[in-house]
Chain A
Amino acid sequence: MQFGIFSVGDLTADPTTGRTPTEQERIKATVAIAKKAEEVGLDVFATGEHHNEPFISSNPTATLAYIGAQTSTLQLSTATTLITTTDPVLIAEDYAKVQHLVDGRLDLMMGRGNTGPVYPWFGKDIRQGIPLAVENYALLRRLWREHTVDWEGRFRSPLQGYTSTPRPLDDVPPFVWHGSIRSPEIAEQAAYYGDGFFHNHIFWPPSHTARMVALYRQRFEHYGHGSADQAIVGLGGQVFMRKRSQDAVAEFRPYFDNAPVYGHGPSLEDFTSQTPLTVGSPQQVIERTLGFREYAGDYQRQLFLIDHAGLPLKTVLEQLDLLGEEVVPVLRREFEALRPAHVPSDPPLHPAVLAQRAAAQQDEEAVA
């Protein structure tokens, strides 16, 4: 099972000091956070994608390639790649390039984006969000799997004799997750292709997660990719930890109270009970996280959000220390102990696909 972090890349004032980091500080902090994730033994760093203030997460491929150059084991991913407003031809090219640069340590998560004006800025219509996600992804898949593509659809100019370059590394397209909070069409899409399904599992009640994951699993089996419990599921989560629970609550409260998205709304205590947010000791985070499998089943990837709402870099790095030292080693052990043998531990990433291919070739040669 993989553990990591995902970042939305918000540029938010620290409510305890009133100071907003500069864009460069936040961009460099993102890199420092990703490097630290590898250093403390986490597996994955995923960056969001936004094309509006107050975010620094445009051009995710530059960020991922830069981080990839300074890490050696960290899996790089997105949370999410905007499949609606980004030209799928550019996604095919850009992410294949990064995949080569980082020796295959790359996967992607497709999302639609919920910022209204971003759609018209990129020549699209938010009311077409689902059809855009469906058509663009269908094209992206072909571009990574077929050398020469002739194509015509509703949302971009037709292609005749187009080849996306570079080709995916070793002809293994990057693994893809589909993320959605509550649109059944996206769970259906992930299931149809046998791709992964990721539920962001932050800011919303777990009931959304349970319903989406259940649908995805059921349809994954329906489409013949394996049994429902073998479907590839990823979950988010939001945590803030200190050794002593009361210290975590006291320190996090001003960030919570002023946070983008949910700030100035429900109390920290209410939100903690209504959503997967956990603020407390490492032990509390372990217990809460182990509970996720009770409604999502045994899953393959857990990403935590730890760097938003203006939390200073130093604090975020301390969170990573706690995750790496106290939380993730226990979670790895416990989740694996609970997982049935026929349920995969990991998503089928680049090395696994290569190994599978080599094994299949050997079998063929043995038969021949």
Chain B
Amino acid sequence: MTRLVVVSAGLSNPSSTRLLADRLTTAALDRLPGAEVTHVELRDLAHAIADNLLTGFPSGELAEAVAAVAQADALVVVTPVFSASYSGLFKSFFDVLDPGTLEGTPVLLAATAGTPRHSLVLDHALRPLFSYLRAVPVPTGVFAAAEDFASPELAARVERAAGELADAVTRRPRPHAVDPFADVTPFAELLG
């Protein structure tokens, strides 16, 4: 079964970031029937994320969210734009993941902002971040300024991006992550 995880970093409630995340989820599910969806709402994990930055390990619900992201076949990530980039909370969540967690995972990038002048944040901030994390961002990102919620073009972009995400999942199933504890390197190899 395909596991779709939706990470949303909106801070208000109701949140336009969550609204966009939900639209993307619905569109992705139309193309990935039967997929299991997990929502990760970063606002609820904000304290745990700060704790993880200090202690080096995720606790409680954050540990569950990290595990869900690690096992995801596809990700939808949505951040509000703060000071011309992703929000600090959004970045901090990806900062606490172990290296390699997102390797090979198809990702749909999305952002919301108060003004359309931030639209390049997807390609100038999010795309390099997810390339660094060795995820596989799909070509179409979805940016929604407040006024886009009145535009039919938003729906078209949502559909196109969701289609690309579904194609990526179907075309290239995510490689199975290696468990270094189950598949230990024999010491003779380490000795060289």
Which of A1-9, A95-103, A262-270, A301-309 lies at the interface with chain B? A262-270
Answer whether residue A297 sits at the interface, using C-beta atoms and an 8 A cutoff.
no
* A-contact 0/1 string along B54-84, CB 8 Å cutoff: 1111011000000000000000000000000
Chain B, interface size category, equals 10 to 19
Do residues B59 and A270 form an inter-chain contact, with CB atoms below 8 A? yes
Answer whether residue A159 sits at the interface, using C-beta atoms and an 8 A cutoff.
no
* Complex Cα spacing A130 to B180, Å: 14
Do residues A134 and B191 form an inter-chain contact, with CB atoms below 8 A? yes
* B-contact 0/1 string along A302-342, CB 8 Å cutoff: 00000000000000000000000000000000000000000
Do residues A265 and B184 form an inter-chain contact, with CB atoms below 8 A? no
Answer whether residue A221 sits at the interface, using C-beta atoms and an 8 A cutoff.
no
Do residues B190 and A265 form an inter-chain contact, with CB atoms below 8 A? no
- Within the complex, the shortest CB–CB distance from A115 to chain B, in Å, comes to 14
Answer whether residue A211 sits at the interface, using C-beta atoms and an 8 A cutoff.
yes
Do residues A265 and B187 form an inter-chain contact, with CB atoms below 8 A? no
Number of A-B contacts (CB under 8 A): 57
- Within the complex, the shortest CB–CB distance from A192 to chain B, in Å, comes to 4
* A-contact 0/1 string along B30-65, CB 8 Å cutoff: 000000000000000000001101111101100000
Answer whether residue B186 sits at the interface, using C-beta atoms and an 8 A cutoff.
yes
Q: Contacts A184-B180, A211-B181, A215-B181 known; A266 to B55 CB distance under 8 Å? A: yes
Q: Which of B54, B55, B186 has the most CB of A within 10 A?
A: B55
- Within the complex, the shortest CB–CB distance from A142 to chain B, in Å, comes to 12
Do residues B54 and A138 form an inter-chain contact, with CB atoms below 8 A? no
Do residues A204 and B57 form an inter-chain contact, with CB atoms below 8 A? yes
Do residues B184 and A184 form an inter-chain contact, with CB atoms below 8 A? yes
Pick the 6 closest A-B CB pairs, nearest first: A265-B54, A192-B187, A266-B51, A265-B51, A184-B180, A274-B59
Q: B interface vs A, CB < 8 Å?
A: 50-51, 53-57, 59-60, 180-181, 184-187, 190-192
Q: A interface vs B, CB < 8 Å?
A: 130-131, 134-135, 138, 184-185, 188-189, 191-192, 203-205, 208, 211, 214-215, 219, 261-266, 270-271, 274
